């Protein structure tokens, strides 16, 4: 494992980071605005004092008359009155340190000045008579209360911001834990499942959010994987089952051939038997592989059922001729397109036609029609037919009907393989009992 944090930690860090940034901006903005408002309030207070002092000034012959009885002796109400040359006419007692700053402000002609070392603010207002400036009034106020208010607000806002950030962190941690708990449960469940638990699912119910939608998607994926594994297991089991009989016969023939000397005719018969069994094994493997390809979705092509029937009947004619059987194909003029690979149709029809040639008397007819969404391929022979209790049983591996009694050809696997392949293509095969002859109907989905 790497040291990289998990998705929950990364989301928590992102949330806390965004909230922390927002809180810093808010705290800074609040304190900046508060500082501005306090500064404006202090300036307004000093200006009010200066205006009040100007109202009490006596002016004679265009000059300010000095008054040596100031209103107050504390910084909160200290006022200086200067003439037009900057000479101090009135000054509070005990304010020598401030007076130097007052004179400096008067020389500079400024409006305000902050003296941080004395916790004071100066405000200068000119005294004008008519249009002539006859002096200046400078008021001083203490900024200690404003500064303490600003510091208190800053400390309080920082403490509140830290508390809020802590609460948001805890809330975000709880919310993320609750929101991602299905993922944790799904991870734990998936880790506990074995390769044999093909039917286990997350089962989060109908999708109503992203996580339940993910669970439903994973369940669907598990369904497809389980189906694929079952197809593989079934293919393995069917190969084992279907190949056991021909392999046993090949092994038996080889054992007999090695147990004693035989003449040429007996060896030839043995080799012919081995060849037939090998051909049957090849056909079985090809049919099962084709069915597995169809079920897995690797093959999804359309083909004309007429072409497949023509090829299948042509391939069965040598066997039919040897048995004295005539094969007739009845095909429609228009194409009958089915959503099944042409080769797969051949593997469905081949055992059915061979079965008809083995058990028919003189004729086998193959007809192609279409009904609704299905293509029907009907194979009819004039043999003994299928008894009433045999239509389902004859499609079981190794099972044969009463018409096969006393016959050595065939292994009872052909019809079972044909049905297996037809079902893999979404079709079916049915055997219909009737008074005379056999009748098999292959149904395939139209393209």
345-367 confidence digits (pLDDT tens): 888 898 899 888 888 889 999 99
Question: What does the pLDDT look like over 259-304, one tens digit per residue?
Answer: 777 777 877 877 887 887 787 677 777 766 766 666 666 556 788 9
CA–CA distances in Å: residue 139 to residues 51, 52, 74, 123, 405: 9, 10, 11, 5, 131
Strands in 91-131 per DSSP E: 112-115, 120-129
Higher per-residue pLDDT: 437 or 257: 437
Let me know whether 310 and 447 are in one domain. Answer: yes
Q: What is the pLDDT of residue 72?
A: 41
Let me know whether 443 and 335 are in one domain. Answer: yes
Q: What is the pLDDT of residue 405?
A: 47
Residue 96 lies in a domain: yes
Quick count: other Cβ atoms within 10 Å of Cβ 180? 16
Residue 173 lies in a domain: no
pLDDT(198) > 70 = no
Q: What is the pLDDT of residue 297?
A: 60
Q: How many helices (H) and strands (E) does the chain have?
A: 8, 14
Predicted confidence band of residue 203 (pLDDT cuts 50, 70, 90): confident
Residue 16 lies in a domain: yes
Name the least confident of 202-211, 222-231, 287-296, 403-412: 403-412
For position 304, which CATH number holds? 3.30.565.10
Let me know whether 366 and 265 are in one domain. Answer: no
Q: Specify the length of the chain in residues.
A: 447
CA pair distance 155, 147, nearest whole angstrom:
12
Q: Which of 278, 298, 318 is the last residue of a domain?
A: 298
Please write down the long-range contacts of 111-118, taking CB distance under 8 Å and 24 or more positions apart: 112/43, 112/46, 114/143, 118/75
Residue 202 lies in a domain: yes
Residue 142 lies in a domain: yes
Let me know whether 318 and 384 are in one domain. Answer: yes
Give the residue numbers spanning the domain of 310: 300-447
Taking all residues of the chain, what is their mean pLDDT, rounded to a whole number? 81
Let me know whether 278 and 312 are in one domain. Answer: no
Predicted confidence band of residue 75 (pLDDT cuts 50, 70, 90): very low
For position 233, which CATH number holds? 1.10.287
CA pair distance 366, 81, nearest whole angstrom:
128
Let me know whether 305 and 294 are in one domain. Answer: no
Q: Which of 231, 265, 298 is the last residue of a domain?
A: 298
Higher per-residue pLDDT: 96 or 291: 96
Q: What is the pLDDT of residue 148?
A: 93
Question: What does the pLDDT look like over 37-51, one tens digit per residue?
Answer: 999 999 999 999 888
Q: Residues 100-125: what's their mean pLDDT? A: 90
Let me know whether 211 and 86 are in one domain. Answer: no
Residue 338 lies in a domain: yes
Q: Determine how β-strand 303-304 pairs with β-strand 337-338.
A: antiparallel
Helix (H, G, I), strand (E, B) or coil at 441: strand
Let me know whether 204 and 340 are in one domain. Answer: no
Domain count, the chain: 3
Let me know whether 307 and 437 are in one domain. Answer: yes
Q: What is the pLDDT of residue 408?
A: 47
Q: Residues 114-131: what's their mean pLDDT? A: 89
Let me know whether 288 and 198 are in one domain. Answer: yes
Q: DSSP string spanning 207-256?
A: --SHHHHHHHHHHHHHHHHHHHHHHHHHHHHHHHHHHHHHHHHHHHHHHH
Let me know whether 226 and 358 are in one domain. Answer: no
Predicted confidence band of residue 379 (pLDDT cuts 50, 70, 90): very high
Please write down the long-range contacts of 441-444, taking CB distance under 8 Å and 24 or more positions apart: 441/376, 441/377, 441/378, 441/379, 442/348, 442/349, 442/352, 442/376, 442/377, 442/378, 442/379, 443/374, 443/375, 443/376, 444/305, 444/338, 444/339, 444/340, 444/345, 444/374, 444/375, 444/377
Cβ-contact 402, 390 below 8 angstroms? yes
Let me know whether 288 and 325 are in one domain. Answer: no
For position 14, which CATH number holds? 3.30.450
Q: Residues 389-415: what's their mean pLDDT? A: 61
Q: Residues 319-342: what's their mean pLDDT? A: 89
Question: What does the pLDDT look like over 19-32, one tens digit per residue?
Answer: 999 999 999 999 99
Q: Which of 268, 283, 298 is the last residue of a domain?
A: 298
Beta bridge partners of residue 133, listed in sequence order: 128
* CA nearest to 446, candidates 297, 347, 304, 330: 304
Q: Determine how β-strand 439-445 pairs with β-strand 428-431.
A: antiparallel
Residue 2 lies in a domain: no
Strands in 331-393 per DSSP E: 337-338, 363-371, 374-381
Structure pTM? Answer: 0.49
Residue 365 lies in a domain: yes
């Amino acid at each position: 494992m790497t040291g990289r944090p998990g998705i929950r930690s990364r989301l928590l860090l992102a949330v806390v980071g965004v909230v922390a940034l927002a809180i810093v901006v808010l705290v800074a903005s609040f304190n900046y605005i508060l500082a501005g408002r306090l500064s404006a309030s202090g300036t307004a207070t000093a200006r009010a004092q200066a205006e009040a002092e100007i109202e009490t000034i006596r002016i004679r012959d265009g000059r300010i008359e000095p008054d040596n009885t100031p209103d107050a002796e504390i910084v909160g109400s200290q006022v200086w009155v200067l003439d037009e040359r900057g000479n101090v006419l009135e000054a509070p007692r005990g304010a020598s340190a401030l007076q130097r700053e007052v004179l400096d402000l008067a020389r500079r002609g400024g409006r305000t000045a902050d003296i941080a070392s004395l916790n004071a603010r100066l405000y200068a207002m000119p005294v004008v008579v008519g249009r002539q400036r006859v002096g200046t009034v400078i008021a001083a106020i203490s900024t200690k209360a404003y500064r303490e208010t600003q510091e208190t607000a800053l400390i309080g806002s920082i403490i509140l911001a830290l508390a809020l950030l802590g609460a948001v962190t805890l809330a975000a941690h709880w919310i993320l834990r609750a929101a991602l708990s299905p993922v944790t449960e799904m991870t734990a469940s998936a880790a506990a499942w074995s390769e044999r638990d093909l039917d286990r699912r997350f089962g989060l119910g109908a999708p109503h959010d992203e996580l339940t939608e993910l669970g439903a998607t994973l369940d669907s994926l598990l369904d497809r994987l389980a189906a694929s594994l079952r197809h593989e297991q079934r293919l393995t089991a069917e190969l084992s089952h279907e190949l056991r009989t021909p392999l046993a016969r090949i092994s038996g023939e080889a054992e007999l051939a090695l147990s004693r000397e035989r003449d040429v005719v007996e060896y030839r018969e043995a080799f012919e038997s081995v060849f037939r069994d090998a051909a049957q094994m090849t056909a079985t493997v090809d049919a099962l592989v084709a069915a597995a390809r169809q079920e897995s979705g690797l093959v999804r092509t359309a083909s004309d059922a007429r072409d497949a029937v023509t090829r299948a009947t042509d391939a069965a004619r040598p066997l039919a001729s040897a048995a004295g059987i005539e094969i007739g194909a009845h095909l429609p003029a228009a194409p009958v397109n089915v959503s099944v690979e042409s080769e797969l149709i051949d593997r469905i029809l081949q055992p059915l036609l061979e079965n008809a040639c083995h058990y028919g008397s003189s004729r086998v007819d193959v007809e192609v029609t279409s009904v609704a969404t299905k293509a029907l391929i009907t194979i009819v022979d004039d043999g003994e037919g299928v008894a009433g209790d045999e239509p389902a049983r004859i499609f079981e591996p190794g099972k044969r009907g009463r018409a096969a009694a006393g016959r050595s050809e065939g292994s009872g696997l052909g019809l079972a393989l044909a049905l297996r392949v037809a079902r893999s293509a979404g079709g079916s095969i049915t055997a219909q009992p009737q008074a005379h002859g056999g009748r098999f109907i292959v149904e395939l989905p139209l393209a």
